[in-house]
A and B are shown apart, each in its own frame.
Chain A
Amino acid sequence: MNSVVCIAQVPDTEARIKIAAGGRRIDEAGLKFIVSPYDEFALEEAIRVKEAKGGDVTVISFGPDRAQQALRECLARGATQALHIKGEVADADSLGIAKVLAAAIKSTPHDLVFFGKQGVGTDNSLVGPMVAELLGYPQVNVVTHLEVGDGKATAHREIEGAEEIIEAALPAVITAQKGLNEPRYASLKGIMAAKKITIETKSVADLGLQDSDIFNQRVTTVAIELPPEKKGGRKIDGADPAAAAKEILKYIREEAKVL
């Protein structure tokens, strides 16, 4: 049972975001990058499948040189192979990224293809289902539980106020939600073992794709702006709970206009 896990490298969620000159990119100078948090659940699930059934876990990331570091981290946690597609991912829209990943996945043995339910930061939640469509695979999105059987997988999909249990034929695309599992940390042994694995590197052209189909197509960023400073609200003393409750009620009725 082989798995591919697609890894997005994103700015640390604690990071202060600055806008680069030109106003269409974020300033990456001094920014710390991490493996997107949902991708950690995706990776952990793939490693568990491997531990139960054998096979390989290949991590793939499309991005600039720094993506190697994210892949190295995944190898230390238990991925067995890594593929880095080198390119200016910031110039690609989600479908461009999906086309690159789909092409890379085709030439990698796989039964399951894992994604995060969203890449934290740009939060599109697009790439996984797009890859599923491009490869003609079924998809189960926002998965909180997975059982892998013979030629099929049963996944629990989180929806509003309920959960769907979906059976998908393999190969299938799964996008991971928090709760799917508890990701492990890299062990010292894992870190040492990871150093011995070579990260394969390819370009977009190596995958047989045209830059003109991937970059600056379809969706283009016009501007990135910081939100207006939120005006400081009112703060009141709640030492007298009854008075405070009355004050809140007044606010709710007169300003939020509910009730």
Chain B
Amino acid sequence: MARHTPFHERTSVLNTTQLWSHWAGYLSAQRYQLSEKFEYFAVRNSAGMFDTSPLYKYRIHGRDAETFLGGLLTRDIRKCRPGHAQYTIWCDDDGYLIEDGVVIRQSETDFLLSAAEPNLAYFQDRIGRLDVTIDDISDEVAALALQGPKSREILTKLSPEIESLRYFQTIETKIGGAPVTVSRTGFTGDLGYEIWVENANALALWDAVADASDGYGVLPFGETALLMTRIEAGLVLIDVDFSSSRYAWTDADRTTPLELGLGWMLRSIDDNERPFIGRQAIRRELAAGSRWHLTGLLIDWKDWFNLYDRNGLVPPKDHLPGAYESILYDDAAEPVGYATSLMYSPMVQRHIAIARVLPELSTPGHQVNLEVTINHKWQQVKATTTQMPFYSPPHKTA
């Protein structure tokens, strides 16, 4: 039976649609309102509350915790000081991506790592003789995200220290009487926070945030609105934009950090002091070049219009992310890449997609043709490569 998150007593009442999906064995609201788009606008224009409790959460601690994570994670954990968080990834020996996640460093020797998929066995099997303990606290800790331009103002009412929290900083504080960890992180590409709390205090936290939000037009939002915001934010998603190398059957189904636009995580790859899993393979890739490069795509609005119009249709502007892959071609009809996340973006006012293209097309401004199926025929619409994120308001990092 699907389990309930610690916020379920509240979310089950708020979810007027009673539409739920399963996420890590938990019921997770697809949308709370009849209009997921209205929830999306709450995030973009006010703030939204998202129950992100189903994330897997690992407490990784012990004298050697930094050394352990330094060898496991691709991004240099030594650069993450206590009170900070890092978006990070871990790879296999061949330099293929296993997963991504966020790690919060609570002290020199204490880390909280969250990820969408289970990784406990994989992590524990790599501890070896190091002094490290990993506790799977997934079922003990709840997580609530408050995302959107009004989130700081609202949370500051509950804990004044939050006002000065910088992008990817974290603090230990109290909200609604409950001890919490607040990180200025999120998956929406907006100003936003994630609040980590013991299950027993979850409802008190929810109620405190909901009360402080009163009058601001804040709404709970579900997975659909979250997925819209993450595409605009240019954030890749496991099982949509990439698959874990642990469960891929072929290398075609695997992705390297460089291919996924995460090269910026590799700044200290030449530092011999920190060997990590996949390092040698990634260095070889850096020298030899990658198969693909990640890019954003802006679909030509006029061409999109004309294509559908010529086919006798009203051009759809569907904000729901498409759950399919579309092939990209050059003008000679040769395949040059593939788009993994396609949607109509209300902020950009055109269709956008996250895609991978051949390295020579990776810089912004290249034109490609995206395949779409209209009237049971494969047809093509013009698109231009562009830098991501598609939407990045100044308040995100300010």
Q: Do A and B bind each other?
A: no
Listed in ascending order, the chain A residues whose CB lies under 8 Å from chain B are none
